[in-house]
Chain A
């Protein structure tokens, strides 16, 4: 197992991250627009000041040199300084916002699993019943709504009309940080972010369980006179859950991508607005830092999914 992990990280992970960062840096440096564009609005600014700024930010170097310098710093554990006026370390900017993004992503994943799996089980258990059709229908509804629009509708109904939940944000200044408060602020964004996953997981669970139920060993179990409930919940479930674990690895990148939009709608203090701001300002170190961070997280997520798959299924052994 350890050998497998080490191999995954060094043989697969490192080259992928190198290729990824190289391509991304290339793309953002050839993109039109410059990191000093916004200085245009400063009164009385002269060209010399802008030229100095460009030199300071290392923009006069060619692309390979810029990338090499960036990579060199990253290997030493330094993500560089943000290009915006605050000139803060990129690592700080990311670490300040990371917890909020992880919290939101985790909540929506948990929500998706806690709702999706039981719903999927029930739907399979009572296949072709009214319940199954209802679940199927609502699952498809969940997959078919653009998340930004669903978020806006939630805001409109729960924040404006019913006035029971806050219209986004994360605690007003001076508000006590109670558990209930967290729930209040997390509810709408994590439902918005988790919606399509709830639906996806319910669907997946249903078909996975149905497939397992058709297997021979369960027929044997039934033949031995075990009740249908015991067959489903005790024997089939364990086997049906396996493929769902790989699904987790797959959903992680989508959760992070989705978080960018959801955080924007709900003013969630995570990485989403930083990411969008950084792209529109051509803030290279921040764009690179966030993407690297996400790429690493996605890689780890996949690794964990694969390992848990191996742990759960004794037939799989990674060499």
Chain B
């Protein structure tokens, strides 16, 4: 673990990313303490105000404080990212393990199911599902989560296939360990690193997907703020051109957070992958 941290620390980008990410998460958690205004309280006399002492990031077209919305929006955008990855990991973990461990018919069935989900053009299904249940933050999480389980499932299955034939698992089996025990004690820890990497990247892409759904009016519904729907509100060209305070904060927030997550994911990959050490010796 210490060695891991040393390797991780060597990647400057990853370290910076981790700090920024921590800051954003803290800001989101403590949003109620930090936000100067109620994020949803409209004040029609203060619409479209540029940044000022009262409103450090200005106000939007409903006279709501952009800083407060940004903080609360961070709560929503980050939890959309985290929860949806949590969902896809849970499904993927269970199905991937089953497929990898049992093989045969179970494997074929689960992998075909993964193919089916993989064939869904993501947005079209997201649009349809969001129409069925009505757009809501929870549905956005579920949609993003349920549609991306094949990724982790495949990863885990591959890890199983690889490790199943290795000596220590064979030895454990020979010693009479039960299947469940083998899975949890021996295989899952080995699959941990690639899963963690793919999960970090999953969080980043879920945050972007939420923004994309917002563009189609299917993300987190108003009046609750998310970075995606804040960006979407800034679509008209006169806002884009004349009121940059409405889109720079959420745009920058999405960008910086996704960037940080990617850096962290990259750092994790390098830190987990000892081969990188060899590579670097040549330089």
A and B touch in the complex (CB under 8 A): yes
Contact of A146 with B254 at beta-carbon distance under 8 Å, contacts A31-B131, A214-B278, A261-B212 already known:
yes
Interface residues of A in 21-40 (CB under 8 A from B): 23-24, 27-28, 30-33
Which of the segments A48-56, A104-112, A168-176, A294-302 contacts the partner chain? A294-302
Residue A308 at the chain B interface, CB threshold 8 Å: no
User: B237, A160: Cβ atoms under 8 Å?
Assistant: yes
Contact bitstring B73-96, A, C-beta under 8 A = 1, else 0:
000000000000000000000000
Residues of B in contact, count (CB < 8 Å)? 46
Residues of B within 8 A of A294 (CB): 119, 121, 124
User: A214, B275: Cβ atoms under 8 Å?
Assistant: yes
- 8 Å CB contact of A23 from B116, B212, B259: B116
**CB-based nearest A residue for B129:** A27
Residues of A within 8 A of B241 (CB): 156, 160
Min distance, Cβ B240 to any Cβ of chain A, angstroms: 5
Residues of A within 8 A of B275 (CB): 211, 214
User: A33, B131: Cβ atoms under 8 Å?
Assistant: yes
Residues of A within 8 A of B38 (CB): none
A290 to B120 CA separation, bound complex (whole angstroms): 11
User: B120, A136: Cβ atoms under 8 Å?
Assistant: no
**CB-based nearest B residue for A279:** B127
Residue A276 at the chain B interface, CB threshold 8 Å: yes
- Tell me whether chain A's interface is mostly helix, strand or loop, or mixed: helix
Residues of B within 8 A of A276 (CB): 127, 216
A291 to B254 CA separation, bound complex (whole angstroms): 30
| Number of residue pairs A-B, CB distance < 8 angstroms | 134
* Residue among B119, B120, B279 facing the most chain A CB atoms (10 A cut-off): B119
Interface residues of B in 189-226 (CB under 8 A from A): 204, 208, 211-212, 215-216
Interface residues of A in 138-153 (CB under 8 A from B): 140-141, 143-149, 152-153
User: A256, B115: Cβ atoms under 8 Å?
Assistant: no
**CB-based nearest B residue for A299:** B119
Min distance, Cβ A173 to any Cβ of chain B, angstroms: 24
A17 to B131 CA separation, bound complex (whole angstroms): 23
A146 to B282 CA separation, bound complex (whole angstroms): 37
User: B132, A147: Cβ atoms under 8 Å?
Assistant: no
Residue A240 at the chain B interface, CB threshold 8 Å: no
Residues of A within 8 A of B215 (CB): 146, 148, 261, 264
Min distance, Cβ A11 to any Cβ of chain B, angstroms: 9
Residue A182 at the chain B interface, CB threshold 8 Å: no
User: A261, B216: Cβ atoms under 8 Å?
Assistant: yes
Residue A210 at the chain B interface, CB threshold 8 Å: yes
Contact of A24 with B125 at beta-carbon distance under 8 Å, contacts A32-B132, A141-B255, A144-B259 already known:
yes
A155 to B132 CA separation, bound complex (whole angstroms): 33
Residues of B within 8 A of A32 (CB): 131-132
- Tell me whether chain B's interface is mostly helix, strand or loop, or mixed: helix
Residues of B within 8 A of A213 (CB): 279, 282
Interface residues of B in 242-283 (CB under 8 A from A): 247, 251, 254-256, 258-259, 262-263, 275-276, 278-279, 282-283
User: A253, B259: Cβ atoms under 8 Å?
Assistant: no
Residues of A within 8 A of B29 (CB): none
Residues of A within 8 A of B251 (CB): 145, 149
Contact of A144 with B212 at beta-carbon distance under 8 Å, contacts A16-B112, A214-B282 already known:
no
User: A140, B116: Cβ atoms under 8 Å?
Assistant: no
Contact of A291 with B283 at beta-carbon distance under 8 Å, contacts A144-B259, A156-B241 already known:
no
Residue A43 at the chain B interface, CB threshold 8 Å: no
* Residue among B123, B241, B251, B254 facing the most chain A CB atoms (10 A cut-off): B123
- 8 Å CB contact of A148 from B120, B121, B212, B278: B212
User: B112, A149: Cβ atoms under 8 Å?
Assistant: no
Q: Can you spell out 29 A-B residue pairs with CB atoms less than 8 angstroms apart?
A: A12-B112, A16-B112, A16-B115, A16-B116, A20-B116, A24-B120, A24-B128, A27-B132, A31-B131, A32-B132, A140-B263, A143-B262, A146-B254, A149-B231, A152-B240, A156-B240, A213-B279, A214-B279, A253-B118, A253-B122, A257-B123, A275-B124, A279-B124, A279-B131, A287-B128, A290-B124, A291-B124, A294-B119, A299-B119
New A-B pairs, 13, CB < 8 Å, besides A149-B211, A298-B118: A16-B115, A17-B119, A20-B116, A144-B208, A145-B251, A146-B228, A147-B212, A149-B231, A153-B240, A211-B275, A213-B282, A276-B216, A298-B119
